């Protein structure tokens, strides 16, 4: 007989949260002075999103935020990570703030605090004001200075009531999917612009962190969220190890090098030498970028599996980053991407909870003593209500259980993981996939906008309330 499993319990201070982002849920895109962001423009460009979907209404969170906070409170969640729409606060991306835009976030935060839910604010989750893209976007240095100004405005407005701050969400996606493969806004496909954008996003993080600290109470914490990939080589052959190293530099080192260690990896410069001399890295930039952080946010969904290409560079290119004939990866024609084995979610992303464990332990080794949060983790499935209106999503429960158990194992092995934010609270606008892919713990009927907690929401709520993972087959 197998040993009975001991219940998987978390430290009592562990923060159980859910996450969303502004453009994916808010709607109300023309209200209270908001102007278009690059995602409004991109989503309204024919052919860019599945079914031509856009965020004009999304799940109407702008008008239903009270209901959504009540949902979280009913489940017993302790924290909520959301992002601020830059062009709601600072239309055009410059100049004075719009009070009505800031007021929305103040009302949301006060509603959360009244229900004992800790707000965690992300300043930038990909929705650059269109005017700033018209001026060149992230490949231009000025965008980083504009971001610092915006960070200061929001820090002044909400710093008295929000303790947890995240400057950028997944700068890799902004740079590599926005300016490399073009599957995300603004849809450009320019390898050098991708690298320039990466540097200016790093600079924006550093300047933004400084700006926040200059206006906020010292007790507040500043972090950023990286979609750090666990990059695995197909074999242990030297060529495959080198391919994995190159992708690791382009996925991870390009951000955590300067941010956590104050330097880009030498191997990144070597690998991209034929494209760029990196002369946009100016004196003093690395010190600015290397601001002390209070915590690091890790977003994890699936690992990458890579090998070296043969001499003809032919082979599998599918890397799970959407359909584009342009690779997101500059200077990586010599690398092949493979579908890792195992079950997949509706995104086609393979399920591998050990990738999350490996990622946590990597940062624990690289930046010992830096508190970690899992700021996103979750799965898309083709959820459908039963005739009785309930939504059963056992695969999502299995996904969450598997990944949370690996977080627990990392904590047992000494990692300082302080919290977990499920992606996502609600079904929402899944970027280029539109409303086709449902990541929510809460189901949204896109005709009535009615919300229904899926069984995974009940499962996760119980985990949050008890600090212990329920069995995967517990009935809700």
Q: Does 399 bind ligand PNW (CB under 6 A)?
A: no
- Residues 425-464, one symbol each (x = binds ligand PNW by CB under 6 A, - = not), give -----x--------x-------------------------
Determine the interface stretch with ligand PNW among 113-121, 165-173, 446-454, 468-476 (rule: CB under 6 A): 165-173
Tell me the C-alpha distance between 186 and 126, whole Å. 10
Query: Active site includes 376?
Result: yes
State which of residues 34, 246, 256, 321 lies at the interface with ligand PNW (CB under 6 A).
321
Peptide bond into 186 cis (omega under 30): yes
**Measuring CA to CA, how many Å separate 165 from each of 104, 162, 209?**
17, 7, 9
DSSP code string of 348-414: SPBP-HHHHHHHHHHHHHHSTT--EEEEEE---B-----TTS----HHHHHHHHHHHHHHHHHHHTT
Determine which residue in the list 173, 185, 203, 271 makes contact with ligand PNW, applying CB under 6 A: 173
Instruction: Considering the complex, state which of residue 227 and residue 276 has its C-beta at the smaller distance from ligand PNW.
Output: 227
**Which range of residues in 73-81, 90-98, 157-165, 166-174 is near ligand PNW by CB under 6 A?**
166-174
Q: Which of 140, 170, 383, 406 binds ligand PNW (CB under 6 A)?
A: 170
Task: Report the residue from 37, 252, 299, 350 that binds ligand PNW according to the rule CB under 6 A.
Answer: 299
CB closer to ligand PNW, 41 vs 225: 225
- Identity of the residue, 216 or 442, whose beta carbon is nearer to ligand PNW in the bound complex: 442
Contacts of 277 (CB under 8 A, 6+ apart): none
Beta bridge partners of 457: none
Which CB atom, from 299 or from 456, has the smaller least distance to ligand PNW? Answer: 299
Cβ at position 18, least distance to ligand PNW in Å = 13
> Taking the complex as a whole, how short is the minimal distance between the CB of residue 407 and ligand PNW, in angstroms?
17
Report how far Cα 46 is from the mean position of its chain's Cα atoms.
Answer: 25
How many C-beta atoms surround the C-beta of residue 96 within 10 A? Answer: 8
Decide: is 352 part of the binding site for ligand PNW (CB under 6 A). no
CA distance 151 to 156: 8
Of 52-60, 169-177, 413-421, 442-450: span binding ligand PNW (CB under 6 A): 169-177
> Strand 296-299 to strand 118-124: parallel, antiparallel, or no bridges (unpaired)?
unpaired
Closest distance of CB 54 from ligand PNW, Å: 15
Match 């599945």 to its residue by tokens: 50
- C-alpha–C-alpha distance, residues 251 and 269, integer Å: 14
Q: Out of 8, 17, 18, 21, which residue is the one contacting ligand PNW (CB under 6 A)?
A: 21
Three-state secondary-structure class, residue 262: coil
Alpha-carbon dihedral of residues 435, 438, 439, 445, nearest 10 degrees? 90
User: How do beta strands 304-308 and 231-233 pair?
Assistant: parallel
The β-bridge partners of 165 are 121, 222
Query: How far is Cα 68 from Cα 145, in angstroms, rounded to an integer?
Result: 34
Q: Please, which residue, 10 or 23, has the CB nearer to ligand PNW?
A: 23
| Of 119, 102, 122, 101, the residue nearest 174 (C-alpha) | 122
Question: Measured in whole angstroms, how far is the alpha carbon of residue 62 from the centre of its chain?
Answer: 20
Q: Which is nearer to ligand PNW, 143 or 302 (CB)?
A: 302
| Shortest Å, Cβ 431 to ligand PNW | 6
Instruction: Give the torsion sign (CA, 34, 37, 41, 43).
Output: negative
- Which of the residues 364, 376, 395, 406 is marked catalytic? 376
Verify binding: residue 376, ligand PNW, rule CB under 6 A: yes
Q: If binding means CB under 6 A, how many residues of this protein chain bind ligand PNW?
A: 13
Give ∠ CA 395-377-181 in degrees, rounded to 5. 105
CB of residue 277 vs ligand PNW: minimum separation in angstroms?
Answer: 28
Q: What are phi and psi of 36, to 5 degrees?
A: -65, 145
Q: Tell me how far, at minimum, the Cβ of 395 lies from ligand PNW, in Å.
A: 16
Q: Which residue is nearest to ligand PNW (CB)?
A: 321
Q: Which stretch binds ligand PNW (CB under 6 A): 36-44, 168-176, 216-224, 361-369?
A: 168-176
216-255: contacts with ligand PNW (CB under 6 A): 227
State in angstroms the smallest separation of the CB of 12 from ligand PNW. 28
The CB-of-155 to ligand PNW minimum distance in angstroms stands at 22
* Residue 169 within binding range of ligand PNW, rule CB under 6 A: yes
Which C-beta is closer to ligand PNW: that of 184 or that of 408?
184
Kindly state whether residue 174 participates in binding ligand PNW, applying the rule CB under 6 A. no
Closer to ligand PNW by Cβ: residue 8 or 332: 332
CB closer to ligand PNW, 157 vs 226: 226
Burial class of residue 206, CB neighbours in 10 A (0-12, 13-18, 19+): buried
Report how far apart the first and last C-alpha atoms of the chain are (Å, whole number): 28
* Contact residues: ligand PNW, CB under 6 A: 21, 24, 169-170, 173, 227, 299, 320-321, 376, 423, 430, 439
| Residues marked as catalytic | 376
């Amino acid at each position: 007989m197998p040993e009975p499993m001991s219940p998987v319990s978390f430290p009592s201070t562990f923060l159980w949260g859910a996450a969303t982002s502004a453009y994916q849920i808010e709607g109300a895109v023309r209200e209270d002075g908001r102007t278009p962001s690059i995602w409004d423009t991109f989503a309204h460009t024919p052919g860019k999103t599945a079914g031509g979907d856009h965020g004009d209404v999304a799940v109407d969170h702008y008008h239903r935020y009270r209901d959504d906070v009540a949902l979280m409170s009913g489940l017993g969640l302790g924290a909520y990570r959301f992002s601020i729409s830059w062009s709601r606060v600072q239309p055009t991306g410059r100049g004075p703030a719009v009070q009505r835009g800031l007021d929305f976030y103040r009302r949301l935060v006060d509603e959360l605090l009244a229900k004992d839910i800790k707000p965690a604010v992300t300043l930038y989750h990909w929705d650059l004001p269109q005017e700033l893209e018209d001026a060149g976007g992230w490949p231009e240095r000025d965008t980083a200075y504009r971001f610092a100004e915006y960070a200061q405005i929001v820090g002044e407005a909400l710093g008295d009531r929000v303790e947890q701050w995240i400057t950028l969400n997944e700068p890799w996606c902004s740079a590599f999917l926005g300016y490399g493969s073009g599957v995300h806004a603004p849809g450009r496909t320019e390898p050098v612009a991708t690298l320039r954008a990466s540097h200016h996003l790093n600079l924006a993080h550093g300047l933004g962190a400084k700006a926040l600290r200059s206006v906020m109470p010292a007790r507040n914490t500043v972090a950023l969220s990286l979609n750090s990939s666990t990059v695995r080589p197909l074999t242990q052959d030297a060529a495959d190890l080198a391919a994995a190293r190159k992708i690791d530099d382009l996925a991870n080192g390009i951000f955590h090098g300067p941010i956590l260690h104050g330097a880009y990896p030498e191997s990144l410069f070597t690998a991209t030498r034929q494209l760029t001399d990196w002369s946009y890295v100016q004196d003093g930039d690395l010190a600015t970028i290397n601001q002390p952080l209070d915590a690091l946010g890790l977003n994890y969904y699936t690992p990458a599996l890579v090998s070296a290409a043969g001499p003809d560079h032919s082979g599998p290119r599918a890397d799970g980053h959407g359909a584009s004939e342009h690779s997101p990866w500059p200077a990586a024609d010599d690398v092949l991407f493979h579908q890792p084995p195992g079950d997949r979610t509706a995104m086609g992303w393979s399920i591998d909870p050990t990738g999350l464990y490996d990622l946590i332990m990597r940062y624990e080794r690289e930046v010992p003593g830096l508190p970690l949060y899992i700021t996103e983790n979750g799965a898309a499935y083709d959820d459908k209500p039963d005739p009785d209106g309930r939504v059963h999503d056992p695969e999502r429960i299995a996904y969450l259980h598997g990944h949370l158990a690996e977080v627990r194992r990392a904590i047992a092995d000494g990692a300082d993981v302080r919290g977990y934010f499920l992606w996502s609270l609600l079904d929402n606008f899944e970027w280029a996939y539109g409303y086709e892919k449902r990541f929510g713990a809460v189901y949204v009927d896109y005709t009535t906008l009615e919300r229904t907690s899926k069984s995974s929401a009940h499962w996760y709520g119980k985990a949050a309330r008890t600090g212990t993972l329920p069995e995967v087959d517990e009935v809700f």
